[in-house]
Structure 1
Amino acid sequence: MADARAALAALDSTARRLPNPRIFRRPALQAEAQSTSALEGTYAPLIEVLTADEERPPNLDVREVLNYVRMGDAAFNLIESGQQLTVSMLEQLQAILVRGTRSEKENSGSLRDHQVVIGQRTTAPPTALPVHAARFVPSPPGLDLRANLQDLLDWMIDADVSQELDPVIAAALAHYQFETLHPFHDGNGRIGRFIIVVHLLARQVLLEPTLTVSPWFEARRAEYYDQLLAVSTRGDWNSYVRFFATGLGASADATHERMLALVNVQEEFKERIRRSTLRADTAHTLADYAIANTTFTVRAVQRDLGISYGRANALVSQLVQLEILAPLSSSTASARRFYAPKALDVVVGR
């Protein structure tokens, strides 16, 4: 537990010292999206996710992963506007997560209205009904499910809980309870792991949502699910919380290393710009933009930086000449995309 708290504190301390820690948010969200989706059986290579055109994803798997990024963006915007997590907000986020994918149903964006089961016991006879053969049977649908989910969300922001319970333990309990309720027809695992980061933000353990938790759990997929199940079947909270805290600490360490590596890339970009004849302020802004947005078009630079198309095009070309940016080989002439190779290498882990 102490190691997890120390790792989270180191990550947060670094973020607080940076002039603009927000630029590291989206790369973290994209990496989390790829890994958390892989845990649920939707696999798209990280490089494909990072370089995809978000308006025209190449396939349904990439669309599903990118939907997680959209969901995260929407959630963080709502939370930063002062809104608390509610059942209605979670329903809204789940609708974003499954939109345009194989998982989209008529009742998407609502709590499930039917009983579900999770997994199948290896000892179950072939003729057993699903509810008898399942590894775990979550709560039935209905008013109790909605009330129990709201109780969980209220507990997460309860001031007494915040004072009495270590935030790492509280995050572990909240994650388990959400997975146990399994409130949606799809997306529960991804939303449940997303709630871990939201909870740490709410408890002010983290300033920015730059923590990626799923890569560690993905590498230990079977143990992760077994630990959750052991709480339900044997009440083995100690092993689960210890496993969760170890994962959180390791995830914070890995995120911290990636953040420091991106800071080094950022400093290198600034040094190249300083040695050039470019107007430093706008060029630095675009360099930061290239770290925050793994690929982009000139139109996106024009829109997001609030400059003319001509100025955006010239600025991108100048940073290409400085070898800060490069054109993406897979982009088309009509929608040419650019990226910062050194920043992308850090996010991919090269």
Structure 2
Amino acid sequence: MTATAALTLTWDDVPWKSDASQRLSRTQRARITSTYKAAVPADIATMTFAIDAQVAAEADDARDAIARFDAELSMMFPDGEFAPLSSVLLRTESASSSQIENITAGARALALAEIGIAKHGSNATLVAANVDAMNRAVALADKVTPDTILDIHEALMRGQDHANPGRFRDEQVWVGASPTPHGAMFVPPHHDRVRASIDDLCAFTARTDIPLLTQAALAHAQFETIHPFNDGNGRTGRALVHALLKGGGATTQTTLPVSAGLLNDTDAYFDALTAYRQGDPSPIVERFAQASFSAVDNGRLLAKDLNTAHQDWTARLTMRRHAVVWRVLPVLISQPAITSALIQDHTNVSQPAADNAIRQLMEAGIVEKASGIQRNIVYLAKDVITALDEFAARARRG
């Protein structure tokens, strides 16, 4: 048996008990039988993968491009001011990953959500939760374990009881609009198989004999095939990619917005996942390589725009270098929606000092008061908001 054949899914016949109270059409009822077929993922911990040679080479080139991008960014901003750019790139990756699931939020809305100004359950708060999950993934990158995955999911889906945050599913799920597994687009493994499959996946991520980006793409595809949660699988699985890139040393100081690269052709991404389940691992590796190149190009433009904004700000300010306002500029790169309290917290200054710094920023045209917000006085760095929205537009266009 070849490696490709070994990867192909097999199927369980699982008993199905019909719910008489469920309203179904005649066509839907005609599809229902006493059993349904649920996927049985192959064990990949020790598998040898047959990757197309050209695709493998492209993935290696993409991994090198990621490392160069990471090194470039560390030199773009003055000492001590790179960390905010890292935060921005992580936020853009989180927003793009959410958008693949049709959860969209503009830069202004997301910036406000991250300081607690958004309706509970809004798209912006969901994306903000994805930012937290990405942070968890990067922080836990040393070793991928079942607990690591649960921790990422808990951060992502906190407060969404239907998803059972931080716990593997204990019921059957399926992909597609079908009211039963019969006729669904894809039926992941029965929940009794989830933990063993996750253990196998974690063992796979510990291997060092597979090129890093190829390994990350395969791990992601296997995770999506296992589909271990009631909801949030796609976003958790893409966060897992960043844990692997960080743990493997491709990224050291930043988060490459790979999901932004996937956004320009989501059909190809989902087709590649299907191909993986049918035994061909090359398309998902190719898609991640292409997405990485696209993400590097788009990320460079975003970094350039933010660096230009930072240089423009420094030219507008005439205060002495020890003034508080200079310490606020990196905060604005990281968080383009600010309040006096946020400035006090980030720079450890008094309210009068924070208020004075905000006044100076307004006089220089660097921030403006946000409109339409009650109870809170919020100021926006319009240059950063514009740069982030332009990044998102480029990702959609490809």
Answer whether TM exceeds 0.5 for this pair.
yes
Pair 1:225–1:291, CA change in 2 (3 A): same
Match of residue 183, structure 2, among 114, 125, 133: 133
Do 1:27 and 1:294's aligned partners in 2 also have CA atoms closer than 8 Å?
A: no
AA aligned opposite 1:35: S
Match of 1:262 in 2: 306
State the match for 1:123 in structure 2: none
Residue in structure 2 matched with residue 67 of structure 1 by the alignment: 129
Deviations 1:164-219 (A, max 9, x none): 32211111111111111111111110011111122111111111233112223223
Within 5 Å, which residues of 2 pair with 1:113-152?
113-119=170-176, 130-142=180-192, 144-152=193-201
Distance 1:199 1:297 in 2: 35
Q: Does 1:292 align with 2:364?
A: no
Conserved? CA contact 1:136–1:229, under 8 Å = no
SS at match of 1:248: helix
Q: Cα deviation per residue 1:303-345 (whole Å; 9 max; x = unaligned)?
A: 121111111111111111112222222333x311112111221
1:6–1:77 CA distance, 2 compared to 1 (3 A): closer
What is the match of residue 26 of structure 2?
Answer: none
**1:98 corresponding residue in structure 2:** 157
Q: How many residues align?
A: 329
CA deviations over 1:128-166 (Å, ceiling 9, x no partner)? x83342232222213x422321332233233xx2xx322
Q: Which of 377, 383, 386 is residue 336 of structure 1 equivalent to?
A: 377
Taking only the aligned residue pairs, the percentage that are identical comes to 26
Partner of 2:50: none
Letter paired with 1:92: D
Residue 208 (structure 1) aligns with: 253
Distance in 2, Cα, partners of 1:36 & 1:182: 16
The separation in 2 between residues aligned to 1:138 and 1:106, in whole angstroms, is: 16
Q: Which has the larger radius of gyration?
A: 2
Partner of 2:86: 25
Change (3 A) 1:10 1:264: farther
How big is the shift at 1:3? 4.1
**Which amino acid letter does the alignment assign opposite residue 70 of structure 1?**
D
Give the alignment's TM-score, normalised by structure 2: 0.76
Match of 2:357? 315
CA contact (8 A) 1:28 1:211 kept: yes
Q: 1:106 to 1:328 in 2, by over 3 A?
A: closer
The answer to whether the aligner puts 1:9 opposite 2:67 as a matched pair is yes
- Opposite residue 100 of structure 2, the aligned amino acid is L
1:156 maps to amino acid: T
Give the match's secondary structure for 2:191: coil
Partner of 1:87: 146
Alpha-carbon shift at residue 9 of structure 1 (Å): 2.7
Contact in 2 for aligned 1:296/1:337 (Cα 8 Å): yes
1:165/1:53 Cα in 2 relative to 1: closer, same or farther (>3 Å)?
Answer: closer
Residues 268 and 287, structure 2, Cα contact 8 Å, conserved in 1: no
Q: Distance in 1 between matches of 2:137 and 2:290?
A: 26
Bigger fraction of residues in helix: 1
Mark the CA change 1:324 to 1:211 in structure 2 (over 3 Å): closer, same or farther. same
Question: Residues 76 and 196 (structure 1 numbering): CA distance in 2 closer, same or farther, change over 3 Å?
Answer: closer
Q: SS at 1:105's partner residue?
A: helix
Q: Sort the Cα spacing of 1:282 and 1:56 in 2 relative to 1 into closer, same or farther, 3 A.
A: closer
Check whether the contact 2:105–2:127 (CA below 8 A) recurs between aligned residues.
yes
Deviation at 1:59, TM superposition (A): 5.3
Q: Distance in 1 between matches of 2:190 and 2:330?
A: 48
Question: In the alignment, does 2:223 pair up with 1:174?
Answer: no
